[in-house]
Amino acid sequence: MKTILITGANGQLGRKINDVSVKTSELEFIFTDLPETDITNVDSIDKIFAENKIDIIINCAAYTAVDKAEDDQENAYQANAKGPEILAKKAAETGAKFIHISTDYVFDGQANTPYIETDVEKPVSVYGRTKLEGEKLAIKNSSDCIIIRTSWLYSEYGNNFAKTMLKLATEKEKLNVVFDQIGTPTYAGSLAKAVLKIVLDYVNLNTWKSGIYHYSDLGVCSWYDFAVFLLKQRNLNTPIFPVRSSEFVTRTQRPAYSVLDKSKIIKTYNISIPYWTDACLEMLRKL
């Protein structure tokens, strides 16, 4: 039996991995988060490794407040870059495998075809820059590191676009949602299953292929399309109006195009990915 350490366990992905892991008898999971375990503190990580034989680390911890990060750069750097560095070094020291979750924000969003893993990164925000630095430090310090970039993550847990839209639709007379930002909603449950597939391939087949991978659900839409679909499924008749990003003043720029090419992860790990609307229906049934 292999022992899997999940950091950032109280976040959307961590909680969905917890949901999926209940059905997995081959693995023992340790779910941890602040204040119990601080990935930016070497002593904190040393302590949990001293108490447990860890075979695989899955780092779901991150500073994800995109706008707030612009004025809180040090804390964003600590969580998104320093933390992965500490975990990668510990993985190398103990022989553990390391899976680190990253983001489409490492790109500038100016492409017009889906991003592949070898495309040049050009982050335009503190969040994106710190996440990219975390990727680099993880790869530098652990030869057994897998980076998974994802986009537009949502679930029945925590705060996210899907839950916010459904809530606002019951409170507002109308909604304005941007239509000029294009990407793919990713249900955290789908990503959790993909991560677990990689782990199980290692446990059962001794297959581990380090590197950077892209994962989102299949298909493409705008935030406006996503909102329309959500409200329709809940029979909410609140009018939704498409608006340009320029009509919303935010602290930082969002990628206009963040579609990720999933070919590499599908081919390498034979992962079956659902279409985004099907995954969203699964989430809504559990909400």
Catalytic residues: 127
Cβ partners under 8 Å of residue 282, min gap 6: 187, 189, 274
Largest interatomic CA distance in the chain: 56
Q: What is the separation, in whole angstroms, between the first and last Cα of the chain?
A: 32
Cβ partners under 8 Å of residue 206, min gap 6: none
Distance CA 96, CA 272 (A): 26
Distance CA 114, CA 72 (A): 31
Closest CA to 100 of 161, 46, 141: 141
Torsional sign, CA 193, 198, 202, 206: positive
